[in-house]
């Protein structure tokens, strides 16, 4: 072996011996003055940043978005001004509840986080492979996640905690039905859809606003794994999905997704029969048809997992002019909690790291902070307003005003928001085989849960569709009459 590069310390001084510590005699103790040993051990102790509380296990890749249809009628965002526009992007897919070393083939929603490096700044979408979510009020989010993580006494994951929370939170039923359906375990990350899930907004040059939901339909086709197949894979390879995505891109088999939108004019939100900002609901396609707007392709693997995937920081507030948020309570909370998590995990200057850095010029008045590793804007003026030609705001880019009204109160989020019909719609669109898989998956997950929790949850299945409730009840050996009465 020939090595042409000289090893150095972090300070660049050449290392004379990287095999033997400095000791007092060949059998003696290590000397305090062996600063190279100290540096090595100290750096090793600090190698990890805290893993994400949710979405800890992930896989990432770079790619491109190619716009196939102009959205200029709805948005002033330059990215969607005309068909043919292209933009570099980065995607990170993840499981939700498992830790960094957990199995890829767990039954769990998959995070579907996207960062588009547009010429007008980054546009981040922090979606899932499911169009809805378990809760609609962010006050319930940390309780929900605790119920899915580990029992505080045993350190074990516990089906009773999960079903206790779900059965007491019937707004979770639509997502629970999705999770335990065949699509609850994708065959690979390439064979699953992505959804913005939240409602976002678009606004155009004339100041008109539209509500929008984003869909990313896999062009590889939806493929799934049964519980049994997933368990066999997990026994052999915990990193099955990460490995598959990396290998596909290495061999030039670039996965693609059809990008689609559903668009609702602003005023229709007030009269639409479904609460358009409720994260537990979809907009049925017959009301708001899907419009093809582009194709997303993943075509380059990261060169360093930690730098690019572990430090990737997505935040739903990253939106170029022409795009905006919506009154969705869950989205509002995520606008705060995502950057807050990055500041804690990665540090205040996370946005300047190469994977997060916009591909357009960045001109802020932020300065200093831990790990400011670039030039910190040199001698450029660091306050505003100023007389020294510092960067200035542009009032022509102001989002149109959003009318809001109502008395401040803690409103019961179940009021006027039924939890069952869309879960029933999903059940009814499944084939006989998909229904059998759903019921089988639910029966095995509920089997060891206390009877009162089983019965409470069965009432929800029954309300979504009597056939659905009866199927799970029969699998658990519970008389359907017992739950029909409860459901009523
Ligand atoms: P549609 O018949 O127009 O659409 C059904 C949708 O369900 C399609 O997007 C299809 O996606 C998806 N789908 C099909 N099989 C499954 C499955 N086993 N698990 C999850 N999704 C599946 O009906 P609606 O728009 O009226 O929606 C009916 C139900 O479909 C909803 O209650 C919701 O549960 C589900 N759904 C609806 C979506 C929407 O945005 N309207 C999005 C995703 C699901 P694909 O083309 O990939 O097969």
Mutate to test the pocket of ligand 1, among 218, 225, 284 (most ligand atoms within 8 A of CB): 284
Residue nearest to atom 30 of ligand 1 (CA): 426
For the chain, what percentages of helix, strand and coil (3-state, to nearest 5) are there? 35, 15, 50
Does the CA dihedral 86-88-92-93 come out positive or negative?
positive
Residue with tokens 């913005």: 196
Q: Give the pLDDT score at 206.
A: 97
pTM reported for the whole predicted model: 0.96
Residue nearest to atom 38 of ligand 1 (CA): 282
User: 323: which 2 tokens?
Assistant: 């795009």
Residues pairing with 67 in the sheet: 294
Structure tokens of 480?
């359907």
Can you read off the two tokens belonging to residue 351? 């946005």
Alpha carbons 476 and 443: distance in angstroms, whole number: 6
> From atom 22 of ligand 1, which residue's Cα is the shortest distance away?
426
H or E element in which residue 40 lies = helix 35-45
Please tell me the distance between residue 349's alpha carbon and the centre of ligand 1 in angstroms: 40
Residue 154 burial class via C-beta count within 10 angstroms: exposed 0-12, middle 13-18, buried 19 and up: exposed
How remote is the CA of residue 330 from the centroid of ligand 1, in Å? 22
Question: Cα(460)–Cα(170) distance, rounded to whole angstroms?
Answer: 7
Record the tokens describing residue 168, joined without a space.
């007491």
Strand partners, 295: 66, 258
Q: How many helices (H) and strands (E) does the chain have?
A: 13, 10
- Cβ contacts of residue 387 below 8 Å, gap of 6+? none
Radius of gyration of the chain (CA): 26
Q: Closest ligand 1 atom to the C-alpha of 183?
A: 19
User: Which atom of ligand 1 is nearest the CA belonging to 421?
Assistant: 32
Active-site residue identified among 128, 129, 193, 441? 128
Supply the pLDDT for residue 398: 96
* 413 CB-near residues (< 8 Å, 6+ apart): 136, 137, 171, 329
**Measured between alpha carbons, how far is 313 from 309 in angstroms, rounded to an integer?**
9
Residue nearest to atom 16 of ligand 1 (CA): 430
Three-state secondary structure call for residue 341: helix
The dihedral formed by the CA atoms of 173, 279, 110 and 148, expressed in degrees to the nearest 10: -50
Determine whether 128 is an active site residue: yes
Whether the CA torsion 420, 426, 428, 430 is positive or negative: it is: negative
Which structure tokens are listed for 118? 């547009």
Contact between residue 202 and residue 212 where contact means Cβ atoms under 8 Å apart: yes
* Interatomic CA distance for residues 216 and 294, integer angstroms: 9
Determine whether 55 is an active site residue: yes
Beta-strand relationship, 323-324 and 110-118: unpaired
Looking at residue 482, what is its pLDDT? 79
* Ranges of the chain with pLDDT below 50: none
Distance between CA atoms of residues 144 and 298, nearest Å: 32
Binding pocket residue ranges, ligand 1, CB within 6 Å: 131, 178, 181-183, 193, 217, 222, 282-285, 422, 425-426, 429-430, 434
- Cβ neighbours, 10 Å, residue 118: 24
- Report the half-sphere exposure of 219 (CA within 13 A, side-chain side): 14
Say how far apart CA 204 and CA 70 lie, in whole Å: 12
Annotated catalytic residue within 55, 174, 215, 460: 55
Q: Give residue 98's pLDDT.
A: 95
């Amino acid at each position: 072996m020939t090595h042409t590069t000289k090893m150095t310390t972090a300070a660049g001084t050449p290392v004379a011996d990287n095999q033997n510590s400095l000791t007092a005699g060949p059998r003696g103790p290590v000397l305090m003055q062996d600063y190279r040993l100290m540096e090595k051990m100290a750096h090793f102790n600090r190698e990890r940043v805290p893993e994400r509380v949710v979405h800890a296990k992930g896989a990432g890749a770079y790619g491109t978005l190619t716009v196939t249809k102009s959205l200029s009628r709805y948005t002033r965002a330059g990215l969607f001004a005309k068909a043919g526009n292209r933009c570099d992007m980065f995607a990170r897919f993840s499981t939700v509840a498992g830790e960094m070393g957990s199995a890829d083939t767990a039954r769990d929603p998959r995070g579907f986080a996207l960062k588009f490096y547009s010429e007008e700044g980054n546009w981040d979408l922090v979606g899932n492979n499911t169009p809805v979510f378990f809760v609609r009020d962010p006050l319930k989010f940390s309780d929900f996640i605790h119920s899915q993580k580990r029992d505080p006494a045993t350190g074990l994951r516990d089906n009773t905690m999960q079903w206790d929370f779900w059965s007491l939170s019937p707004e979770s039923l639509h997502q629970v039905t999705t999770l335990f359906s065949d699509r609850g375990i994708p065959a690979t990350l390439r064979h699953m859809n992505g959804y913005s899930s939240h409602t976002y907004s678009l606004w155009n040059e004339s100041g008109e606003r539209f509500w929008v939901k984003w869909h990313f339909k896999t062009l590889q086709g939806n493929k799934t794994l049964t519980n049994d197949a997933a368990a066999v894979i997990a026994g052999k390879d915990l990193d099955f999905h990460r490995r598959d995505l990396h290998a596909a891109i290495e061999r030039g088999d670039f996965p693609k997704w059809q990008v689609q939108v559903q668009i609702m004019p602003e005023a229709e939100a007030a009269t639409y029969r479904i609460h358009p900002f409720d994260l537990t609901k979809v907009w049925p396609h017959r009301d708001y048809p899907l419009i093809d707007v582009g194709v997303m392709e993943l075509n380059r693997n990261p060169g360093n997992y930690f730098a690019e995937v572990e430090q990737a920081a997505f935040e739903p507030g990253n939106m170029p002019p022409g795009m905006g948020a919506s009154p969705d309570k869950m989205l509002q909370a995520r606008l705060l909690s995502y950057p807050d998590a990055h500041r804690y995990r990665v540090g205040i200057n996370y946005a300047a790291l190469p994977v997060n850095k916009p591909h357009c010029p960045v001109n802020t008045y932020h300065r200093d902070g831990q790990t400011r590793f670039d030039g910190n804007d040199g001698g450029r003026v660091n306050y505003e307003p100023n007389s020294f030609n510092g960067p200035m705001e542009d009032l022509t880019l102001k989002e149109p005003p959003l009318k809001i009204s109502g008395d401040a109160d803690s409103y019961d989020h179940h009021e006027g928001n039924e939890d069952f019909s869309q879960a029933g719609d999903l059940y009814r669109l499944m084939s006989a085989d998909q229904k059998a898989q759903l019921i089988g998956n639910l029966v095995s997950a509920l089997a060891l849960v206390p009877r009162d929790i089983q019965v409470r949850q069965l009432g929800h299945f029954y309300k979504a569709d009597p056939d659905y409730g009866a199927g799970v009840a029969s699998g658990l050996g519970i008389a359907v009459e017992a739950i029909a009465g409860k459901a009523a």
